[in-house]
Amino acid sequence: MTTNQDRPAIEANGIRYRWPRQPVVVVCIDGGDPAYFQRFLADGAVPNVERFIRHGFSVVADGTMPSFTCPNNMSIITGTPASRHGISGNFYLDTATGRPVVMTGPELLRGDTIISKFAAAGARVVSITAKDKLRRQLGKNLDISRGNLSFSSEFASRCTLEEHGIENLLDFVGMPQPDMYSMELSLFVLEAGVKLLERDRPDLMYLSLTDWVQHKYSPEEPEAQRFYREIDARFGRLADLGAVVALTADHGMNDKSDAAGRPNVIWLQDVLDAKFGAGDTRVICPITDAFVGHHGALGGFVRVWCRGKATPRQIVETIAGIDGVEQVLDKSGACRLYDLPADREGDVAVIARADVCIGGAEADHDLTGLKGHRLRTHGGVSEAKVPIVINRPLNDEYRLKAAVATLKSYQIFDFVLNGTLNQ
């Protein structure tokens, strides 16, 4: 009988990955800023994470810029920077039509996912995401008919064997359909992962949560601690079932409100319209998706496209003087510095300081969903640090790698499959 350790390594996007000897579970804690682990480790609220750190490997790594959900999930699942996989936000502007294009379609994702390459070689793989917007890209080229699964907790009640590889999911997981704006949306993902590990022992699982809690609650608030206690308990169950468990995040999170609780916003489209005239430039906020109640589509990174007379240089000069802007770059500078795909980059990229966010036109953002909460959001360099925790120690080769350079979060599959002992 062929065991997994005899099988040839699987190549995905130029990197070779060893077969897992035991189930490997990679969890992306959406919005899991290192500050949460820091606080809850000190409080003793995450005993399983503490155990993983004590006996395994942990580090703070660089996430993909911009520090948004889609680019980072795609970096993790492909093992590549955004310049390779092409997903640099939720939206980009199609310069041919002048319309914003949603970037969540699998046809826009370049290269292969690591899990689809393993599945094609006969591995059993599972991808579960909280928000359905990620599901089709995470499941790109994944053959569901062969016992592999790809579903979201957002549409858990609608899962079918044909499209997701599983039906009657609510009964199987033992939870009701979670609300979009709830911590249960993330807990459902982990609970489903635990149940599937018990039942099927798949070779590889990717579990991606949602950042609703982190947008709403700082590490000091009891709701955040309750959420981390809940997810920690499930990490412990995955580990106790014999899985190699690797935790990371897509991005961090920062408070971007003033002392009175009002958001510190640069309304960039209004600034540029006042200077160059309406319609001359187009600001795109790549954080925007269908669910913006918890952040009002405000993030720490926006792109500007030139649509008229203003040149990128004039735009850069105008923006550079605005208080709260940390960095303003033209297209080639942004692509070089942050490893971004040039064909989807704006003419100018603008990054906010840690305590500031950037919007388009004030009239286009609905902030009523914040309901008295301070605005916490992400997108900039100050939210691009993420934790990596693996419940196994590294082998010598990977310990050296980790010692001499800052890890990228998209190396997590490489580290967990090729770099851990007992794997």
Structure tokens at 13: 């996007």
Q: How far is the CB of 44 from Zn ion (least distance, A)?
A: 27
Q: How far is the CB of 291 from Zn ion (least distance, A)?
A: 11
Instruction: Collapse the DSSP code of 403 into the 3-class scheme (helix H, G, I; strand E, B; otherwise coil) and give the result.
Output: helix
Cα–Cα distance for residue pair 330/345, rounded to 1 Å? 9
Which of 4-12, 116-124, 211-219, 267-275 is the region at the interface with Zn ion (rule: CB under 5 A)?
A: 211-219
Q: How far is the CB of 312 from Zn ion (least distance, A)?
A: 29
Structure tokens at 356: 């500031």
Cα–Cα distance for residue pair 253/67, rounded to 1 Å? 9
359 in Cβ contact with 297 (< 8 Å): yes
Instruction: Collapse the DSSP code of 308 into the 3-class scheme (helix H, G, I; strand E, B; otherwise coil) and give the result.
Output: coil
Chain residue at closest Cβ approach to Zn ion: 69
Amino acid at 51: R
Which of 91-99, 117-125, 162-170, 210-218 is the region at the interface with Zn ion (rule: CB under 5 A)?
A: 210-218
Which of 30, 191, 347, 414: binder of Zn ion (CB under 5 A)?
Answer: 30
The conformational region for residue 348 under phi > 0 = left, psi -120 to 50 = alpha, else beta, is: beta
Helix/strand number for the chain, H first, E second? 16, 19
CB-count burial class (<10 Å; 0-12, 13-18, 19+) for 132: middle
Cα–Cα distance for residue pair 117/370, rounded to 1 Å? 41
244 in Cβ contact with 416 (< 8 Å): yes
The partner residues of 77 in beta bridges, in order of sequence, read: none
Quick one: 73 or 281, whose CB is closer to Zn ion?
A: 73
Q: How far is the CB of 253 from Zn ion (least distance, A)?
A: 9
Quick one: 312 or 387, whose CB is closer to Zn ion?
A: 387
404 in Cβ contact with 397 (< 8 Å): no
Quick one: 250 or 345, whose CB is closer to Zn ion?
A: 250
Q: How far is the CB of 106 from Zn ion (least distance, A)?
A: 19
Q: How far is the CB of 67 from Zn ion (least distance, A)?
A: 8
Quick one: 154 or 250, whose CB is closer to Zn ion?
A: 250
Quick one: 20 or 89, whose CB is closer to Zn ion?
A: 89
Interior angle at CA 152, CA 141 and CA 229, nearest 5: 130
211 near Zn ion, judged by CB under 5 A: yes
* Binding map of Zn ion across residues 324-353, x = CB under 5 A, - = no contact: ------------------------------
Q: How far is the CB of 210 from Zn ion (least distance, A)?
A: 7
Task: Provide the 8-state DSSP code for 329.
Answer: E
Amino acid at 177: Q
Quick one: 214 or 420, whose CB is closer to Zn ion?
A: 214
25 in Cβ contact with 241 (< 8 Å): no
Quick one: 154 or 211, whose CB is closer to Zn ion?
A: 211
Which of 21-29, 152-160, 206-214, 235-243 is the region at the interface with Zn ion (rule: CB under 5 A)?
A: 206-214
By CB under 5 A, the residues from 62 to 121 that bind Zn ion are: 69
Q: Residue 370 contacts by C-beta under 8 Å, 6 or more apart in sequence?
A: 263, 293, 294, 296
Q: How far is the CB of 211 from Zn ion (least distance, A)?
A: 4
By CB under 5 A, the residues from 255 to 274 that bind Zn ion are: none
Quick one: 33 or 250, whose CB is closer to Zn ion?
A: 250
Quick one: 211 or 347, whose CB is closer to Zn ion?
A: 211
Which of 208-216, 260-268, 354-362, 411-419 is the region at the interface with Zn ion (rule: CB under 5 A)?
A: 208-216
Q: How far is the CB of 285 from Zn ion (least distance, A)?
A: 14
Alpha-carbon torsion 254, 258, 261, 266, what sign?
A: negative
Quick one: 30 or 33, whose CB is closer to Zn ion?
A: 30
Interior angle at CA 102, CA 104 and CA 350, nearest 5: 105
Which of 22-30, 132-140, 316-324, 366-374 is the region at the interface with Zn ion (rule: CB under 5 A)?
A: 22-30
With CB under 5 A as the rule, give the number of residues binding Zn ion. 4
CB-count burial class (<10 Å; 0-12, 13-18, 19+) for 100: middle
Cα–Cα distance for residue pair 413/418, rounded to 1 Å? 8
Q: How far is the CB of 212 from Zn ion (least distance, A)?
A: 10
Amino acid at 313: R
* Binding map of Zn ion across residues 212-251, x = CB under 5 A, - = no contact: --------------------------------------x-
Quick one: 69 or 127, whose CB is closer to Zn ion?
A: 69
Chain positions contacting Zn ion, by CB under 5 A = 30, 69, 211, 250
